């Protein structure tokens, strides 16, 4: 069943155009050839570039949110403070915004324009908030209301994904669903097991649906969802992730993991699974050539190595990150050289060459990360020791002492 506002042909054409642009950037086709592809794949939809899309999204959110705020303020100022009435207003606005989003797509032919995305998301938020408010009037406990709202977010966000195709809506739906088991007053093991069952069920349904004959754009979307689910499954299974987060945030001692609440067999089963999930993911990613699955699994494998000592109760040392870094570099260089020495610079179809160049916006995340290095170096300087050799001394080096 297809609920989408866009036809499969339209989405496939957009996917082909996107691919063709990458080929042009990578020097695989000429601008004339791109022109031919573009002419043959007109999706008959209005699109805009990423930055205009972000601006449209931000200002539509601002406009729609303020409009609801103004109405609520005017009504409450007029003396009507009935919560039912305010909840009805939220639901009324959500209906208006949702219809506007549908109109933008079906009549104005907007595709990932930012405006219709913000309208759909605001509609979802207002609907769920309004329903939550209404439920509070029927004597439900806070926990029951939370469960109902989370379930509503899961359903409405899924609907937005199915209708408009926004992958982040699927992600919102997944995150909301993940919170539900933790509201059911189950023992910690029960919460995790229930969540694991739900996630595995969605995962296998998605894998079954992801048939080889479906369109490329659907394959790409399914891969993204599968990668998200794989990460969610891993996060459910790994009981020590918060301790790693605590180390990086400098609050390792203040985080209570409640590990004693898990029976030993669950604890050790989770330890085994933290190795199995990334390993299976890497194998599957390589076998099916699904980049996102491979990347997600590699990151999960790093997390497994980072939490390994915590699981085994071994002492953590300051140089542990450096050892992990050396390992990552070593593996990367070995793989790179191994691939390079293969016939035509590839082995089993894998190559180290940069055949598909990503879109450049002038500055990348790695450039930004590099800019923060002096700050990190400054923060890691040991205190000066007055009188050790000379007197005084309290300055930074690669960094600085003032904050901007």
Partner 1 sequence: MFSEKKLSAKQLSTLQDIHTKSLFSVHRELRFFLYIGILMIVAGTGLTIKQYFTNLGDITIISAMTFCFAASFIYCFIKGAAYARQEVNSPNIAFDYILFFGCAFFSMDIAYIETQFNLLGDFWDNYLLVSSALFLFLAYRFDNRLVLSLALSTIAAWFGFTLSGHRFSFEQYYREYAIAYSLIVLLIGGLLYRLHIKKHFYDIYLNFAAHFLCIALISGVAQYKIFSLYFPGLLLASVALVYYSVKIRKFLYMLYAVIYGYIGISIVIVDQIHGETIFIFSYFILTSMLVIGLIFGISRKFKENE
Among 7, 9, 59, 245, binds partner 1 (CB under 8 A): 59
Residue 83: which of 72, 67, 99 has the closest Cα? 72
Per CB under 8 A, which region of 70-78, 174-182, 200-208, 254-262 contacts partner 1?
70-78
Q: Which is nearer to partner 1, 144 or 309 (CB)?
A: 309
Q: Which is nearer to partner 1, 65 or 188 (CB)?
A: 65
Packed helices 142-164 and 115-136: angle between N→C axes, nearest 10 degrees: 160
Is residue 108 helix, strand or coil? coil
**Is residue 350 a contact point for partner 1 (CB under 8 A)?**
yes
Among 24, 37, 235, 280, binds partner 1 (CB under 8 A): 37
**Is residue 33 a contact point for partner 1 (CB under 8 A)?**
yes
Is residue 347 helix, strand or coil? strand
Give min distance, CB of 88 to partner 1, in A: 20
Site string for partner 1, 78-117 (x = CB under 8 A): -------------------------------------x--
What distance in Å separates the CA atoms of residue 42 and residue 20, rounded to the nearest whole number? 13
Per CB under 8 A, which region of 98-106, 121-129, 187-195, 294-302 contacts partner 1?
294-302
What distance in Å separates the CA atoms of residue 67 and residue 112, rounded to the nearest whole number? 23
Give min distance, CB of 206 to partner 1, in A: 19
Alpha-carbon Rg for the chain in angstroms: 26
Do the Cβ atoms of 178 and 232 come closer than 8 Å?
yes
Q: Which is nearer to partner 1, 173 or 243 (CB)?
A: 243
Helix (H) or strand (E) holding 91: helix 83-106
What distance in Å separates the CA atoms of residue 203 and residue 253, rounded to the nearest whole number? 35
Do the Cβ atoms of 176 and 153 come closer than 8 Å?
yes
Is residue 403 helix, strand or coil? coil
**Is residue 283 a contact point for partner 1 (CB under 8 A)?**
no
Among 63, 94, 139, 263, binds partner 1 (CB under 8 A): 63
Q: Which is nearer to partner 1, 44 or 256 (CB)?
A: 44
**Is residue 323 a contact point for partner 1 (CB under 8 A)?**
yes
Do the Cβ atoms of 284 and 204 come closer than 8 Å?
no
Among 8, 9, 80, 336, binds partner 1 (CB under 8 A): 336
Among 7, 8, 73, 85, binds partner 1 (CB under 8 A): 73
Phi-psi region of 56 (alpha: psi -120 to 50; beta: other; left: phi over 0): alpha
Q: Which is nearer to partner 1, 85 or 376 (CB)?
A: 376
Tokens 């009507």 label which residue?
A: 80
Cα angle: 123, vertex 170, 154; to 5 degrees: 65
Site string for partner 1, 365-404 (x = CB under 8 A): -xxxxxxxxxxxxxxxxxxxx--xxxxxxxxxxxxx-xxx
Among 211, 302, 314, 341, binds partner 1 (CB under 8 A): 302
Tokens 């469960």 label which residue?
A: 147
Site string for partner 1, 110-139 (x = CB under 8 A): -----x------------------------
């Amino acid at each position: 069943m297809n609920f989408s506002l866009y036809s499969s042909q339209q989405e496939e054409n957009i996917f082909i155009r996107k691919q063709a642009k990458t080929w042009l950037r990578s020097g695989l086709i000429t601008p004339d050839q791109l022109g031919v592809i573009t002419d043959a794949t007109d999706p008959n939809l209005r699109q805009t570039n990423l930055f205009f899309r972000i601006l449209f999204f931000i200002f539509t959110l601002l406009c729609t949110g303020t409009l609801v705020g103004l109405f609520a303020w005017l009504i409450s100022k007029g003396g009507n403070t009935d919560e039912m009435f305010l909840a009805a207003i939220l639901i009324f606005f959500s209906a208006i915004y949702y219809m506007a989003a549908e109109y933008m797509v079906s009549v104005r032919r907007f595709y990932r324009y930012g405006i219709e995305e913000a309208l759909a998301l605001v509609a979802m938020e207002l609907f769920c908030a309004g329903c939550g408010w209404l439920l509070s009037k029927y004597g439900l406990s806070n926990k029951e209301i939370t469960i109902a709202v989370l379930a509503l977010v899961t359903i409405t966000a899924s609907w937005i994904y199915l209708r408009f195709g926004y992958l982040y809506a699927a992600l919102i739906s997944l995150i909301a669903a993940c919170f539900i088991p933790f509201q059911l007053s189950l023992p910690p093991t029960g919460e995790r097991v229930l969540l694991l069952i739900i996630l595995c069920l969605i995962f296998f349904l998605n894998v079954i649906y992801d048939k080889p004959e479906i369109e490329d754009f659907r394959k790409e979307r399914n891969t993204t969802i599968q990668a998200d689910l794989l990460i969610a499954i891993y996060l459910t299974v790994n009981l020590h992730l918060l301790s790693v987060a605590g180390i990086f945030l400098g609050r390792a001692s203040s985080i209570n993991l409640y590990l004693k609440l898990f029976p030993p067999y669950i604890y050790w089963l989770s330890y085994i699974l933290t190795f199995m999930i990334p390993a299976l993911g890497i194998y599957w990613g390589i076998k099916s050539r699904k980049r996102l699955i491979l990347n997600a699994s590699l990151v999960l494998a790093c997390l497994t190595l980072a939490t390994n000592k915590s699981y085994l109760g071994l002492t953590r040392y300051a140089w542990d990150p450096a050892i992990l870094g050396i390992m990552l570099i070593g593996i990367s260089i070995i793989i790179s050289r191994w691939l390079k020495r293969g016939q035509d610079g590839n082995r089993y179809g894998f190559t180290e060459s940069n055949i598909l160049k990503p879109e450049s916006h002038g500055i990348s995340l790695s450039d930004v990360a590099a800019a923060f290095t002096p700050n990190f170096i400054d923060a890691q300087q040991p205190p000066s020791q007055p009188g050790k050799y000379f007197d005084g001394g309290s300055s930074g080096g690669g960094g600085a002492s003032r904050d901007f």
